[in-house]
Amino acid sequence: MDERTYLLRSGSNRFGAIDFQSSPEEYVPRDSAPAPLTELLSAADIVEAGGDLSYELERALLSGTAMGGARPKAILHDGAREYIAKFTASNDNFPVVGAEAASMFLAERAGIDVASTRVETVLGRSVLLVERFDRGDRGERVLAVSALTMTGLDELQARSGSYVDFLDSLRMNRAPEGTAAELFTRIAFNMAISNSDDHLRNHAALWDGTKAVLSPAYDLSPMRRSGETASQAISYDRKGARTNNFAELLSVRNLYGLSEADASGILERIQGVIHDNWEDAAEHGRLTSADKRLLWGRQFLNPGTLYGFNGH
């Protein structure tokens, strides 16, 4: 189909504020209303009683198929607030949902602005609820844009940009003081949890008509990692450096306007927060003892990340 038809037939409840309509005067959303959060939480009772779940929840909970992404998910509402519900896939043999929930918990403890999350267990499957930051308290749309769009790259270039390109675009759009240090902190945290899926679509900014502000962090998902060598999805300097390593990141601190002492302090804080809050984070993510053994020292604070930094 042509581009106009694609835009006019795509879903209305998209990320950010923009939608496409055939009329300049009448707004007609093309999505069914999001399922209520109460339906998710009472899904077991509904199924046991022979009732019907909404189409989106039935697919995500019972079939494990995806709606709008690589993993099973659905949009839910609780009053005016909306949530992205991320579900365990039927073929998961890695605690994806619990690991992401634990990561969001640790990021908040590290002082990173993150989307509010919690974990529920429904029909024996873990569900991560992430509150949408692109919707206001009354359900209004918030102007949000991905880092991919801000850097002017197309879909095929999502992994060819860099954190520095994103920072440049934020600065051009009058991002507040401290943005560079916050972005440096997020890079370091992604390294510390082995999130190698940190491409430009997994970063965003909010626009208030005057300035661009980093959105709350989201999609902080540890990836499979068997050894001590790993790479980030996008580079953190202007020469293509992607190695998952604190010492390497520290060496390019000048690009983020940080002194060695300030940058080292950020890295030490992240390392300490993850180490000291691991048990609480695992409980938040409802990780089992086996999950914790699988993740600790492999995804979380892998020795390769710390090699060459602070005496390691």
Q: Distance between CA 312 and CA 309 in Å, rounded?
A: 5
Domain co-membership, 226 together with 273: yes
Domain co-membership, 148 together with 287: yes
Domain co-membership, 216 together with 264: yes
What pLDDT is stored for residue 70 in this prediction?
Answer: 57
Domain co-membership, 34 together with 119: yes
Asked whether residue 251 is assigned to any structural domain, the reply reads yes
Domain co-membership, 292 together with 204: yes
Give the domain-ending residue among 96, 131, 166: 131
Helix %, strand %, coil % for the chain, to 5? Answer: 40, 15, 45
Share of the chain above pLDDT 70, in %: 95
Domain co-membership, 115 together with 160: no
Instruction: Select from 79, 78, 38, 72 the least CA-distant residue to 58.
Output: 72
**Beta bridge mates, 135:** 141
Per-residue tokens: 154? 């197309």
N-to-C CA span, the chain: 56
Q: Return the exposure string of 110-123: e unless at least 16 CB atoms fall within 10 Å of the residue's CB, then b.
A: bebebbebebbebe
The pLDDT mean for the chain works out to 91
* pTM assigned to the model: 0.92
Asked whether residue 266 is assigned to any structural domain, the reply reads yes
Domain co-membership, 175 together with 83: no
What pLDDT is stored for residue 67 in this prediction?
Answer: 37
Domain co-membership, 158 together with 195: yes
Three-class DSSP category at 257: coil
Domain co-membership, 102 together with 182: no
Higher pLDDT, 34 or 247: 247
Domain co-membership, 106 together with 149: no
Domain co-membership, 89 together with 229: no
Query: Which amino acid type is present at position 152?
Result: G
Per-residue tokens: 113? 């602005």
**Beta bridge mates, 214:** 205
Q: How confident is the model at residue 62 (pLDDT cuts 50, 70, 90)?
A: low
Element (H, E) at 87: strand 81-87
Domain co-membership, 266 together with 191: yes
What pLDDT is stored for residue 90 in this prediction?
Answer: 65
Return the residue matching tokens 């050894």.
227
Q: What is the mean pLDDT of residues 287-307?
A: 97
Kindly report, residue by residue over 81-120, the tens digit of the pLDDT. 999 988 877 677 889 999 999 999 999 999 999 999 999 8
Asked whether residue 138 is assigned to any structural domain, the reply reads no
Q: Distance between CA 68 and CA 117 in Å, rounded?
A: 19
Asked whether residue 206 is assigned to any structural domain, the reply reads yes
Domain count, the chain: 2
By residue range, what is the domain housing residue 89? 3-131
What pLDDT is stored for residue 170 in this prediction?
Answer: 98
What pLDDT is stored for residue 60 in this prediction?
Answer: 65
The domain that holds 301 is classified in CATH as: 1.10.1070
- Other beta carbons within 10 angstroms of residue 10's beta carbon come to 12
Q: How confident is the model at residue 241 (pLDDT cuts 50, 70, 90)?
A: very high
Kindly report, residue by residue over 121-135, the tens digit of the pLDDT. 887 778 899 999 999
